[in-house]
Amino acid sequence: MIKPKYQWITREDNPKIDDTLIRQFNITPIMQRILEGKGIVRETELKAVLEDQPIFHDTELLSDMTKAVTRIQQAITNQEPILVYGDYDADGVTSTTIMVDALRRLGAVVGWYIPNRFTEGYGPSEAAFQNAVDEGVSLIITVDNGIQGHDEIEMVQQQGVDVIVTDHHEIGPTMPSAYAIVHPMHPDYDYPCRYLCGAGVALKVASALLGDQLPTTYWGLAAIGTVADLVPLTDENRAIVKKGLKQLNDDKPVSVSAILEQAGYDDAITEETIGFLIAPRLNAVGRLDDASLAAELLMAEDEEEALFLAEQVEHFNQERKDIVSTIADEALAMAATFVERGHQFLVLAQESWHEGVLGIVASRIVDTYHLPTMVLNLDVEKEHAKGSARSIEQVSMFDALSQQSQLIQKFGGHHMAAGLTLDLNDVDALREGLNHWMHEAYADVSLQPTKTVDAVVCLEDITIDNIQAMHRLRPFGMGFSKPLLQLAGMQVQQAKAMGQQQKHLKVSFENTSMQAIYWNNGPRAAELMSGQALDMIGELQINEWNGNRSAQFILMDMASNERQILDYRSKNKKLPTFETDDNVSYFIHPSRDKTHDNEFYYGEAIPAHYEKCVFRDLPLTMEDIEATLQQLDVSQIYLVFAHERSVYFEGIPQQALFKQCYKALMQKGQTNLAQDGMALCQHLNVKPNDLKFMLKVFLDLGLIAQKDGIIETVQQSDKRPIESSRVYQARVQRLEVEKQLLYDEFSAVKAWIETSLARTK
């Protein structure tokens, strides 16, 4: 039995797409099931997904838009110095680029500033704002930040500088006293798309300022920010990404070309290109150094300049990967100890962890343990801890940190992510407080991760044409994920590890050329047997190799209701390392001493909570292992049957040989085994092990005596048959054990075990 990592949620009673709409939009059966699974069945919804008619809501519907535009136009007319104050991530630098370029096109006197993650942190910086005042700036426009900058905004407003906040992050209980706040979630307005990213809000402001003169390049920049910031890819966000991807492919900016050249990518730009190649590189700069370099690259118009800046960005990206790898290893080890203690909110902190990559590390911990996680760098010199937090669907990180705000100097974020700073001495108290809050607020809430299946499909659905048709549903992202499909009862043909260090799993199936790939799950090949029925969820794609195209299933999770009996009898097969021994029992030879609580002798009573068992040593008798099987109710049985020496091929000497051996001993009178042993073997034409066995039988029956290596025969009045010896019977039983458990075909061993288990039931 293979238990799934996730709880699979299959939507039931989905509304159906009308037949006329199916014909109108040329929807294939597999597309129909996917769209219905996502709840997209009405004509307007289908148009938004399947047609190139982007939704672009009236800019005036956004909060304070008219007020903000009027003030910006006034500043341009009066040539007032304007500062665009951005952020250091991909959304922040794309927002900054859009806003600065729009103002320049209108003739504004404009400069821009992106705070340093390490010296200033997220959001408005008092020093930077004061410096802007001192330099004569009379209007500050924040992009992708500002909604939490109450004190800094109040400070400059009192000095006669107006602040226009354009942001999309969570709004707290109060809002800053800015001149205008352009925010899609403003409580006094009902903007249709409440989850624009920072670049999306900047695009809306630029559109209000430029009207029909809005450059198409802004759509590409806004698409990068939208995908990078993981906002829901629905409604207006979807339109931004669709239109932006078209622009990026039709007229690729020199900055994007330079980034992709450094990444070694020359194919079409998709949302995955942004998510896995472009956005990580733009983010890498701000994670390690001053993010201004990323903004300069996006603003570059000269090809040589763009390539020069992109080379520097690529250097930061490679360095970022190395740093993440080191910290993630340390954080995972630390997380394991807290999980063992029962923590439900992981707060991991250590000195010398690079603050710029802690969000990535936190995401990896969440992927591993599916618990809300905070990763902090402890700065002893500055006496504060600073870092990032990532959450799970069930838990709002913003709510969690708000509950502990008395311990936090500064934080900002939303449901799934946040950044924060706190006093060094409050880390332990914050860890305790967050865990207490979790245990209280989520005592009755399941934290098991879930995967929502969009459609249950069968093998007949999986064709190249159907997979290509599914591409019409793109782009995919948050809120409109890649179709997650479920296949049931797939018969495994072969499972094997592949790739460097055998990290990945490849599975082939009976009656189909489609193969499945399970990234970073190579060791799980040991769990799959030929002929096993497997249920799985994942994504479909087309694999192209040497000019051939075939369907490929990218596994996200798998499950099987069959009890598994796995063959590890070969010395070449290494038993897998289990995540925990809490649910694994081991059966050992009675000659061994028990070293752990989960070790048992064959036939011994065992607790019922074990899910897996390992027959590590060979049992003494078949009756012993049958007694164990009578108790077992496990999902996996691993057959190892380790032993020091096999006697199966030695067999048992014939009766005549026993007589001949005893006669030789009688004739000798006294036999010095050390001196005469080999001569006796040659006389009897037997191997030393056979001679040793016969002598043990004689000793057991009292036919000989041994002292100091000298053997003498013993006269007996009643002769006992050789077969009555316990040593002889032990050999008989050992031969039967080896024959059935070691040297029989695995299919026969498996069938015998299954029969024994069924008989027990």
- pLDDT, tens only, 383-398: 999 999 999 999 999 9
Q: What is the rounded CA–CA span in Å between residue 205 and residue 190? A: 17
Q: What is the Cα–Cα distance from 479 to 235, expressed in whole angstroms?
A: 10
The CATH number that applies at residue 253 is: 3.90.1640.30
- List Cα–Cα distances, 101 to 79, 140, 290, 463, in angstroms: 16, 15, 20, 46
- At 323, is the pLDDT very low, low, confident or very high (cuts 50, 70, 90)? very high
Q: How confident is the model at residue 48 (pLDDT cuts 50, 70, 90)?
A: confident
CB-count burial class (<10 Å; 0-12, 13-18, 19+) for 581: middle
* Residue 154 lies inside a defined structural domain of this protein: yes
Written as one string, the DSSP assignment of 141-191 is: EEES--TT-HHHHHHHHHTT-EEEEE--SPP-SS----SEEE-TT-TT---
Do 459 and 430 lie in a common domain? no
pLDDT band at 703 (very low <50, low <70, confident <90, very high): very high
Determine the pLDDT at residue 416. 87
The pLDDT of residue 281 is above 80: yes
Co-location of 465 and 392 in the same domain: no
- 496: domain CATH number? 2.40.50.460
- Looking at the predicted structure, is the pLDDT value of residue 208 above 90? yes
Please give, one letter per residue, the 3-state secondary structure of 547-606.
Answer: CEEEEEEEEEEEEECCCEEEECCCCCCCCCCCCCCCCEEEEECCCCCCCCCCEEECCCCC
3-state secondary structure of 281: helix
Write the DSSP string, 457-508.
--GGG--HHHHHHHGGG---BTTBPPPPEEEEEEEEEEEEEESGGG-EEEEE
50, 155, 488, 513 from 465: Cα distances, Å:
17, 61, 21, 15
pLDDT value of position 317: 96
In which band, very low, low, confident or very high, does the pLDDT at 59 lie, cut at 50, 70 and 90?
very high
Sign of the torsion angle spanned by Cα atoms 345, 351, 354, 355: positive
Q: Are residues 120 and 241 in the same domain?
A: yes
Single-letter amino acid, residue 600:
F
Short-list 60, 59, 64, CA closest to 187: 64
Residue 493 confidence (pLDDT): 94
Q: Match 């036999």 to its residue by tokens.
A: 671
- Tell me the per-residue pLDDT of 412-424, one tens digit each, with 9 for 90 and over: 777 888 989 999 9
Angle (CA) 485-236-17 rounded to 5° is 45
Taking the C-alpha atoms of residue 93 and residue 99, their distance in angstroms, rounded to an integer, is 10
| Residue 718 confidence (pLDDT) | 78
Confidence of residue 377 (pLDDT cuts 50, 70, 90): very high
Task: For residues 138 and 63, state if they share a domain.
Answer: yes
- 518 and 580 housed in the same domain: no
Answer yes or no: is 51 within a domain.
Answer: no
Using alpha carbons, select from 209, 222, 276, 215 the residue that is nearest to residue 93.
222
CB 321 within 8 A of CB 351: no
DSSP helix/strand/coil, 642 = strand
| Mean pLDDT calculated for residue range 452-475 | 92
C-alpha–C-alpha distance, residues 276 and 350, integer Å: 28
**By C-alpha distance, which of 111, 115, 97, 201 is closest to 152?**
115
Q: How far apart are CA 444 and CA 442, in angstroms?
A: 5
- Residues 299, 302, 307, 312, CA torsion sign: negative
Q: State the CATH number of the domain containing residue 378.
A: 3.10.310.30
> Cα–Cα distances in Å, from 250 out to 262, 388, 437?
20, 37, 51
CA distances from 85 to 26, 82, 414 (A): 47, 10, 20
- 228 alpha-carbon distance from chain centroid: 18
Kindly state the percentage of the chain with pLDDT values over 90: 81
Domain boundary among 315, 332, 353: 315
Q: Which domain does 305 fall in, by range?
A: 59-315
Q: Report the pLDDT value the prediction gives residue 158, as an integer from 0 to 100.
A: 96
Whether 107 shows a pLDDT value over 90: the answer reads: yes
Pairwise CA distance, residues 626 & 602, whole Å = 9
Task: Indicate if 359 and 496 belong to the same structural domain.
Answer: no
Q: What is the DSSP letter of 138?
A: -
CA distance 86 to 95: 7
Pure H helices in 343-487 = 358-369, 397-403, 427-441, 464-470
Question: Does 732 fall in a domain?
Answer: no
Out of 394, 418, 442, a domain closes at 442
Residue 52: is its pLDDT beyond 80? no
- The answer to whether residue 27 sits within a structural domain is no
Helix (H) or strand (E) holding 537: strand 533-545
CA–CA distance, 119 with 121 (Å, rounded to integer): 6
Cα 162 to Cα 680: distance, rounded to the nearest angstrom: 109
pLDDT value for 607? 84
Please answer whether residues 384 and 353 qualify as being in contact, where contact means their C-beta atoms are separated by less than 8 angstroms. Answer: no
Which 3 state secondary structure label does DSSP give 608? Answer: coil
3-state helix, strand, coil in the chain (%, to 5): 45, 20, 35
**Mean pLDDT lowest for which of 40-54, 141-155, 310-324?**
40-54
* Residue 729 counted as domain residue: no
CATH code at 681?
Answer: 1.10.10
Query: What pLDDT band is residue 450 in, cutting at 50, 70 and 90?
Result: very high
Clarify whether residues 585 and 630 are in a common domain: yes
Is residue 617 included in any domain, yes or no? Answer: yes
**Does residue 608 sit in the same domain as residue 494?**
no
DSSP letter, residue 114? -
Choose the final residue of a domain: 385, 415, 442: 442
Task: Identify the pLDDT of residue 412.
Answer: 79
Q: How many CA atoms lie within 13 A of 740 on its CB side?
A: 17
**Beta strands 450-453 and 417-423: pairing type?**
unpaired
Number of domains comprising the chain: 5
The reply to whether 535 and 588 lie within a common domain is: no
Q: Are residues 231 and 143 in the same domain?
A: yes
**Domain for residue 605, yes or no?**
yes
At 717, the pLDDT band (50, 70, 90 cuts) reads low
Predicted confidence (pLDDT) per residue in 655-667, tens digit: 999 999 999 999 9
Are residues 570 and 554 located together in one domain of the fold? Answer: no
Q: What is the pLDDT of residue 761?
A: 55
* Structure-token pair, residue 358: 């802690």
Note whether residue 730 is domain-resident: no
Q: Are residues 160 and 190 in the same domain?
A: yes
* Mean pLDDT of the 279-288 span: 95
Confidence of residue 76 (pLDDT cuts 50, 70, 90): very high
Q: Which pLDDT value is given to residue 2?
A: 87
Nearest 10 degrees: Cα torsion 83, 86, 90, 91: -100
Least trusted range by pLDDT, from 171-180, 464-473, 482-491, 573-582? 573-582
